[in-house]
Structure formats: structure tokens, C-alpha cells
Chain A
Amino acid sequence: MITVLGAGVAGLCTATALAERGRALRVLDPGPEGAGASWLAGGMLAPDVESDGAPPEVARLGASAADWWAARVPGVERRGTLVVAAPRDGAELDRLALRTRGHQRLGPEGIAALEPDLAGRFPGALFYPDEAHLDPRIALKALAEGLRKRRVEIRHDAPPAEGEVIDCRGIAAREALPGLRAVRGEMMLLRCPDLRLTRPLRLMHPRFPVYLVPRGQGLFMLGATMIESDATGPITLRSSMELMAAAFALHPAFAEAAVLETGSGLRPAWPDNLPRVSRTDGRLHLNGLYRHGFLTAPALAEQLADTITRPEPAHAP
């Protein structure tokens, strides 16, 4: 029996990879469902754009993420990512073009052809056609449902962990993992039925990368701040204003949007901002997924499952 701690993206991907290899396991999470940082994620599978600032390892881990998710959960959209900048921040687009691959330069016509509602709003954009996005909440529920079908228990009480323990608790595992730190993120869920956008939009922003991910039916996830902080309180007015101003800069129709939800959570990160599997106090830990949980968790989970299901080497006679 294997016990996976944590039912966020790291835990559920790990449990899925193990269950698919026929391993007996269960998942323990204090709950309630929806409480962890994974539920606030953008769900962008954007290895190309993220390679600005992230080490190449992140793009490598994320290269097959869209395929992994599409094989297991509904709603994986492969429509690419569109990056725009206010006219005066055009230098930021040039910089991003230099630092990343897999993009095309678009002019106003190109932007209008992809997203008609953005016609005339931006002089130029970068389009990353190979990228994808998903709705994290739908994806996590689908993984949990898939696990239950394979008779994997997901328990929200706290029975003692049995057997090999794989700790995927994110920032909650900080006590056991010296060096793991929290990077606070804040987001909003908006309803703006006047606007039709079909792919993640990023706005180059001087302080943090602002993105807007369509969730369908007029819903948009707007995120996310990056604050080196352990604070767990609600979103601040400053962060709200910065996010809202960015949305309004993307399209003034957002002025009429309803703010359905605001959220804040703590991303777990190692000093190099790279995720890793480690063994501490007899437990395996998968942690430090930072802002790349949905992008890197599948590859990490598959690696981890391969490692622990590999047969023991035979003893020499």
C-alpha cells in the first residue's frame, strides 16, 4: 500500500500515475476540496512563454503536459497563447521574443483574426501556437473521479499513513522541507459575457505577468500576483487594482464584469524555483512546483511512479 499525501495537482497526478501502473494506494488530504493552491491556478500549459525566466528544465518537463492531460481529463484546449503589450511597453514584447521560442509575430490583422474582440486594440502581439490550457478545477475533479473508478480512496479524515508515503502537500509540507518557501499569488474569477476570447491572453506588465484565461460561458480567470510572502489573508486592494487595471487594459468591456470570486494562495518553491522529488525522513516528497504545477506535475508524477514501481534489482547469488 502506498499513501499519497495531498490531493492537489501534485498528489492527484502522482496517484493517477501509480494507479495506472496497478499499484494499491490511497490519497489523504485534510480538505475541504478546493482549499489548496492548485484550485487557484491558471491552468496554462505554456512551456514556451514560461521559458522567459524559468530554467529550461521547466519547458522540458512541460513539453508533454498537454498530451498527458488531454488523455485523462476533459476541456484541454490547444489554442495557443497570445501575448500583448500596451503600445508604450512594446520593448517588453521585443525582449520576450528574444528570450523565448515557438512564437510568431502578429500585427493588428493577425490579432483580429485570432481573437476578433481584440481587433484594433494592440499594435502587435506574440502568438505561441503550440500551447494549451485547461480548467484546473475540472481537471482535478476528473482525476479524482478517475482514481475512484480505479478504487483508489481519497480520504479527508486523518488516518495514519500506511506503507510508502509520498508527500505532495505543497506549502503544508514546509516544516519537513527546509528551504521550501511560499510565493503568494492572488487571482480573480470574472464573468464578462459581453466578451468572447478563446485562448489565454498575457499582458506584459512591469511588475508581474498578468494573464487572463477563458473558462467558457463568459467566465475568465484573472491572475496572478507573485509576492514573496507567507501571508494567507485575502487579496489586497493594491493587488485587486493591479489585476483589474490589467484586465481593463486588455479590454474595456471588463469594466462591466462581475467579480465572482477572489482568491489567494501560497505556491511552494525551492530556491531555484524548480520542482523536485526528494527523500526526507523516510518519505518521498514531490514539491516546489511553484507557478508551474499543471505544467510539470504530469512528467514529475510519471518519473516518480517509474522510480518506485521499478522491480528491486535481483540479489547476486
Chain B
Amino acid sequence: MRLYDIPLPSRLMLGTAQYPSPQVLAEAVAASGAAVVTVSLRREAAGAPGANGFWSLIRQTGARILPNTAGCHSVAEAVTTARMAREVFGTDWIKLEVIGNADTLQPDPFALVEAARILTAEGFAVLPYTTEDLIVGERLLDAGCRVLMPWGAPIGTGRGLRHAEALAAMRQHFRDVPLIIDAGLGAPSQAAQAMEMGFDGVLLNTAVARAGDPVAMARAFGQAVAAGRLAHEAGLMPPRDMAAPSTPVLGMADLGLDGLA
């Protein structure tokens, strides 16, 4: 997978919050094979660049760092956070989150497009956290984004692909744009489903971080993503309404009704 011309060896991205410890986080990243980890930047954490012990532990994982503007509720806040993140982490990549409602944590598509326009003009590689709405997706591409990150379900809910048909339509509509399912995945089967549908990758956090054994769960997600992608590339059989025999009839004994009597 290539995002913004950078080749990535894995289609799984992991968030870094809520782990029992940074050590468990590092082991989980390694077990999952994730190529990208997201880090949320809180304003008070940016005081002393380079000194933050947590960030240096994250750098040691070797995964590419994708700072995000988690928890930002306005264009100005998101833009400021993105600029700080560029200073702190030395990367133009930014996962752009502009939250429209503190309760549902839904993206605010209007502010998202505006913030994306400002940031791409400043040279950021913007990965916007959006809904499955096609027009919002088009506006984000118009604003200069080259990747879209539609949600599976609201952040932290573990509901999977709540609007699977709308997401399938999105996949059809943006055939040549990398689409990453971001948020709402609770189980490896859901990640596999997204990959089977042809999404380019998935990003998740809570399902791994809050698992009983985060390292094992990270490995499970890594395998599910790889399996789902492989299945997509192999070509899934179309579902049928009627049974079709999978065992060839040729050569079966023809006993006839007489023989059974």
C-alpha cells in the first residue's frame, strides 16, 4: 500500500492510547506488524519537544508516526494542533480529526473540509477522518486530500462496519483513492470484512489496547487484515441463492430406484 507516495509494508495502523503500558504497546505494534501508529497530541504535552518519554518509546517501535488531531472541535484548534505536531514529530503527515459532537465523536464534515484545505495548502499530507458520505469525500479530495479515512462505527464502540452497504458504495465511487477504515472496529473478523470489501487498510486502537491480552489481539488483527486482503486479491465468490454441489457427480454410482428397493 502507498499513501502519499510512501510505500507501507502493512495495511494495519494502530492507535497508541489506552494500553496498560508503553511496553505492552510496543510489543503489540511488533506483534501486529503495523507499519503506522497514530499519536494524539495534547497541547500541554507539547511543552518540551523531544523530552516526552512516551513519544520516544513510540519512536522506538520503528513504525511510521501519524500524529492526529484527536479531540479537536474546531478548525482553528485542529490546524494549530497539526502545526505543533509537525514541529514535535518532524512529519508532514497528519490524521485530521475535527469532532462535531463531544458525545458521539462524529466528524464535523464542514470544519473537516475547511481544515483540510488550510493544511494541504501548507504542505501537509492530510488523512481525514470522515464519514461514508460521498460528497464530503469529494470535497476532501478537492481540498487536496489524497487519502480518505471513513469510519466503521463511532470511535471506541467496537460495532464494526455499521453501514456496510454505504461503505461498499464508497469503495465503488472512489476506485483510485486509498480508503482506510478508521474507528469502530471491535473484532478481527470486522477488520477482515473491511479488507475483503477492498478497503486499502484499517486503523484501530481500543479493540487492541483494551483487550485482555493486547499483544495477542494485535497479532490477531494483523492476521485478519492480511487474510482479508489476500481474499480480496484472490477474488471472492459471489453469493448464490441456490445450493450448488461442490462435489463432482461424474463417476458416482448410479444405483437407480430398483437397486434401493
Binding site for B on A (CB under 8 A): 53-55, 95, 98-99, 179-184, 206, 227-231, 233, 236, 269, 271-274
B45 CB-CB contact with A under 8 Å: yes
Bound CA–CA A32/B66 (angstroms): 41
Bound CA–CA A269/B24 (angstroms): 14
From B51-59, B132-140, B168-176, B223-231, give the one contacting chain A: B51-59
Given A55-B20, A231-B45, answer yes or no on A206-B53 (Cβ-Cβ < 8 Å): no
Given A99-B212, A182-B53, answer yes or no on A229-B26 (Cβ-Cβ < 8 Å): no
Given A181-B53, A182-B53, A206-B156, answer yes or no on A230-B23 (Cβ-Cβ < 8 Å): no
Instruction: Point out the residues of chain B lying under 8 angstroms from A54, CB to CB.
Output: 20
Instruction: Point out the residues of chain A lying under 8 angstroms from B43, CB to CB.
Output: 236
Is B45 a contact partner of A227 (Cβ separation < 8 A)? yes
Instruction: Point out the residues of chain A lying under 8 angstroms from B54, CB to CB.
Output: 181, 183, 228-229
Interface of B is mostly: helix
Is B21 a contact partner of A229 (Cβ separation < 8 A)? no
Is B57 a contact partner of A231 (Cβ separation < 8 A)? no
Q: Which of A53, A180, A206, A230 sits near B52, CB closer than 8 Å?
A: A230
Given A181-B54, A181-B57, A271-B57, answer yes or no on A229-B44 (Cβ-Cβ < 8 Å): yes
Bound CA–CA A167/B56 (angstroms): 24
Instruction: Point out the residues of chain B lying under 8 angstroms from A184, CB to CB.
Output: 44-45
Is B44 a contact partner of A233 (Cβ separation < 8 A)? yes
B42 CB-CB contact with A under 8 Å: yes
Is B21 a contact partner of A228 (Cβ separation < 8 A)? no
Given A181-B53, A206-B156, answer yes or no on A229-B42 (Cβ-Cβ < 8 Å): yes
Is B20 a contact partner of A230 (Cβ separation < 8 A)? no
Is A272 a contact partner of B23 (Cβ separation < 8 A)? yes
Instruction: Point out the residues of chain B lying under 8 angstroms from A181, CB to CB.
Output: 22, 52-54, 56-57
Bound CA–CA A273/B20 (angstroms): 8
Q: Which of B24, B47, B210 sits near A230, CB closer than 8 Å?
A: B47
What 0/1 readout, one digit per residue, does chain B (14-57) give for beta carbons within 8 Å of chain A? 00000011111010000000000000001111011001111111
Bound CA–CA A182/B149 (angstroms): 32
Is A230 a contact partner of B53 (Cβ separation < 8 A)? yes
Is B48 a contact partner of A230 (Cβ separation < 8 A)? yes
Instruction: Point out the residues of chain B lying under 8 angstroms from A272, CB to CB.
Output: 21-24
- Which chain A residue shows the least CB distance to B40? A228
Instruction: Point out the residues of chain A lying under 8 angstroms from B212, CB to CB.
Output: 98-99
Q: Which of A227, A271, A273 sits near B42, CB closer than 8 Å?
A: A227
* B87, chain A: closest CB distance, angstroms: 16
* B49, chain A: closest CB distance, angstroms: 10
In the complex, which of the residues A180, A229, A233 has the most CB atoms of chain B within 10 Å of its own CB atom?
A229
What 0/1 readout, one digit per residue, does chain B (114-126) give for beta carbons within 8 Å of chain A? 0000000000000
Is B44 a contact partner of A231 (Cβ separation < 8 A)? yes
Is B26 a contact partner of A271 (Cβ separation < 8 A)? yes
Instruction: Point out the residues of chain A lying under 8 angstroms from B55, CB to CB.
Output: 228
What 0/1 readout, one digit per residue, does chain B (52-71) give for beta carbons within 8 Å of chain A? 11111100000000000000
Given contact pairs A181-B53, A229-B54, A233-B47, enumerate 19 new A-B contacts (beta carbons under 8 Å).
Answer: A54-B20, A99-B212, A180-B53, A181-B22, A184-B44, A206-B156, A228-B53, A228-B54, A229-B44, A229-B45, A229-B47, A230-B45, A236-B43, A236-B44, A269-B21, A271-B21, A271-B22, A272-B23, A274-B21
